[in-house]
Structures are given as structure tokens and as C-alpha cells.
Amino acid sequence: MPMAKALNAGLRKAMQDDAKVLLLGEDIGPLGGVFRITEGLQAEFGDRRVMDTPLAESGIVGTAIGLAMRGYRPVCEIQFDGFVYPAFDQITSQLAKMTNRHEGTMPMPVVIRIPYGGHIGAVEHHQESPEAYFAHTAGLRSVSPSTPNDAYWMIQEAIQSNDPVVFFEPKSRYWPKGEVDLTASSAPLHSTRVVREGTEVTLLGHGAMVAVLLQAAEIAAQEGTSVEVLDLRSISPIDYGPILDSVRKTGRLVLSQEAPGFVSVGSEIAATVTERAFYSLEAPVLRVAGFDTPFPPAKLETIYLPDADRVLEAVDRSLAY
């Protein structure tokens, strides 16, 4: 099934398993959301569990915080990535700090779903990658699936968490289909996964970038270069074990992300890998990222966003050291 349907199925399963799970967001009821992720859920569970809200992201998250205080497990939908900023104060000043403020006695089981990233030809505020803001904020967990199977399981695991989880959904991957195992999760929520074995260079990314990295790895293989591909999956906390194991094997790491490279998730990983695996590196850790500019008009997105060619150019530079 496509990722959109997998998320829908995951939300349905979570709501069936726990009557305290509530959904709230703009147009998520009869319409099923802009991307139809909640399609059919209000008809099945009623408008007291799947609630349409005003166009007020700060109000959505503030309401979710109150619901969590009363023992519910609210799941908020932010319609597009660039619309999350009105809720930024609620998320970073309140949601992220509430449990610590109460010395661990007040869990905050809130999930904030954010469709993010480019490749859909949309306008400003509809194709951004704001994950670094939230990964930087202590008290928040941040994850991003790259496959329908991960989406199905990770959304359920996020809802079960007693800590707030910012759930980044790569909107360009909503409709490509993939196999979904409805019986068992393939990996824990906060784990990095090796998706392609290789020996010469490690490629690491998350969300929609994983498909790009796999494309680059296939081209590299045709040219005689063995590339290993890792799916980060969890942006915060980061599971460094598989990353360091891979780097110690290949001696090289190329990071790729749609977000700008300056002060980014890739920057943090590059620094940490350099600190913890310095003597295994045969070349500097290289980053392939979106440019340090606001997201451009849709016609220019293919220039802005990393593609297989830019990744392969970095692979060549890494091998040249």
C-alpha cells in the first residue's frame, strides 16, 4: 500500500487499541485532510475523537497539551510544514518542557504530524524541511519514516510514547507503494536501519532522501562502486550505533537532506561521527543538502533539492581523498 494508506491504517489501529487516542487538525474530518491521511476515520470513530479545528495551529497544539494533561493521547495534524511556525511557541516553550517542569510526573503523549519536504511542485510554506528546529529542542522526539511499512508501525509507536513526538511525513513519498507487514514492526521507533549493504562509501539520509540515496547507490554499483545506504528514521534521538559501524567498515560518510545544510541535522551527525570514528575515516564527512536560501518557486525545486547526481558527485569527492 502507499504511505498515505499505511498512515491511515496505523492511525485506525491506534484508535481501535486505545479509546484515549484523539485526532485533531484542520479539515481532517469529512475531508480526511489535504492528503487524505485521516480519510474515513471520523465516520468510523465520530467527531468527538476526530475533530476539525479552526485554522489556528497554536490553538491546536495548546488544546492537545490540555488533553494530554487529562490523560488523552492527542495526535495533531499540521496541514503543511510551513504552517507549524504559529505553533512553535506552544511546542518548544510548553509541550517540550512540561514533563521536565513537573519533575517527570506529567507525561505529554502528544504526536504532531507534519507533512514536510519538496518534490510536489507547491508554493512557499508548502515544501519546507523544519526538522532541525525541533531536533534542537530538548524534550521532543522527532522521527521520519521513508517507507509505508515504517509509517504504519512508527505512527503507532509514536502514539504509544509518553513523550511528545514530532512525526515528519515526507509528502513526496505518500503515494509510491510498498509492502506493509501488519504483524510485526521491522525496527524500534528510534533506530537507524541499513537498507543496502556496501563496502566503500556510506550514504545516510531520512524521509524522502532515502529513495534518492538508493537510486544513487544503484547507479554507483553500475559504475563499480559499492555503496551502503542507511535510513536514519529517528532524527532525535539519533541511533549512532549502525552509523558508526558502517563508517568503520567503509571509511567514508556522505550525508544528504532536503533541509539547508547550515546548523542542521546533518551538521550534528557529521560532527559526532568525526568525534567518535575519527581514526576510521579515510575522507572528511561530506554533506549534500538544500541550499541555504528560502525554498524557491516550484519551477526551481529540482535545482534546490539534492538529487542522485549531487549525491554521486559527493561520493566521487569522498573516494578521491
**Residues 242-281: tens digit of each pLDDT:** 999 999 999 999 999 999 999 999 999 999 999 999 999 9
Average pLDDT of span 107-111: 98
Q: Are residues 137 and 49 in the same domain?
A: yes
Q: What is the pLDDT of residue 147?
A: 97
186 part of a folded domain: no
* pLDDT above 70 coverage of the chain, percent: 100
Q: Which of 249, 273, 236 has its CA nearest to residue 143?
A: 236
Q: Which segment of 121-130, 139-148, 199-208 scores lowest on mean pLDDT? A: 121-130
Q: Are residues 153 and 300 in the same domain?
A: no
What are the b/e assignments for 204-236, b being 16+ CB within 10 Å?
A: bbbbbbbbbbbbbbeebeeeebebbbbbbbbbb
Return the C-alpha cell found at 141. 522526539
* pLDDT above 90 coverage of the chain, percent: 95
CATH number of the domain to which 295 belongs? 3.40.50.920
Banded model confidence at residue 218, pLDDT cuts 50, 70, 90: very high
Q: What is the pLDDT of residue 298?
A: 87
Distance CA 98, CA 223 (A): 52
- The 8-class DSSP code of residue 30 comes to S
187 part of a folded domain: no
223 part of a folded domain: yes
The answer for 119, left when phi > 0, alpha when psi is -120 to 50, beta otherwise, is left
Q: Active-site positions?
A: 126
Average pLDDT of span 205-212: 97
Q: Are residues 156 and 229 in the same domain?
A: no
Banded model confidence at residue 122, pLDDT cuts 50, 70, 90: confident
Banded model confidence at residue 121, pLDDT cuts 50, 70, 90: confident
Q: What is the pLDDT of residue 186?
A: 79
62 part of a folded domain: yes
pLDDT at 124 over 90: no
181 part of a folded domain: no
Per-residue pLDDT of 133-158, as tens digits, reads 999 999 999 999 999 999 999 999 99
Distance CA 312, CA 56 (A): 42
Last residue of one domain, picked from the residues 141, 173, 205: 173
CATH number of the domain to which 90 belongs? 3.40.50.970
Q: Are residues 166 and 248 in the same domain?
A: no
Which range marks the domain in which residue 146 is found?
3-173
Return the C-alpha cell found at 66. 490540555
Q: Domain count of the chain? A: 2
With beta carbons less than 8 A apart as the criterion, state whether 158 and 110 touch. no
pLDDT at 165 over 90: yes
Give the per-residue SS3 of 247-278: HHHHCCEEEEEEEECCCCHHHHHHHHHHHHCH
Q: Are residues 220 and 271 in the same domain?
A: yes
Distance CA 199, CA 156 (A): 34
Q: What is the pLDDT of residue 76?
A: 98
Q: Are residues 206 and 286 in the same domain?
A: yes
Q: Which of 241, 244, 248, 211 has its CA nearest to residue 229?
A: 211
Banded model confidence at residue 196, pLDDT cuts 50, 70, 90: very high
With beta carbons less than 8 A apart as the criterion, state whether 256 and 289 touch. yes
Distance CA 263, CA 102 (A): 31
Q: Are residues 168 and 225 in the same domain?
A: no
- Burial status of residue 131 (CB atoms within 10 A of its CB: 0-12, 13-18, 19 or more): buried
Distance CA 253, CA 280 (A): 11
Q: What is the pLDDT of residue 251?
A: 98
Q: Which of 176, 186, 189, 169 has its CA nearest to residue 38?
A: 169
The CA–CA distances, whole Å, from 177 to 5, 91, 120, 148, 173 equal: 9, 32, 17, 7, 9
168: β partners: 114
pLDDT at 185 over 90: no
82 part of a folded domain: yes
Q: Are residues 46 and 166 in the same domain?
A: yes
Q: What is the pLDDT of residue 12?
A: 98
Q: Are residues 156 and 68 in the same domain?
A: yes
184 part of a folded domain: no
pLDDT at 161 over 90: yes
Q: Are residues 136 and 228 in the same domain?
A: no
Q: Are residues 160 and 240 in the same domain?
A: no
Per-residue pLDDT of 72-92, as tens digits, reads 999 999 999 999 999 999 999
277 part of a folded domain: yes
pLDDT at 125 over 90: no
Q: Are residues 199 and 148 in the same domain?
A: no
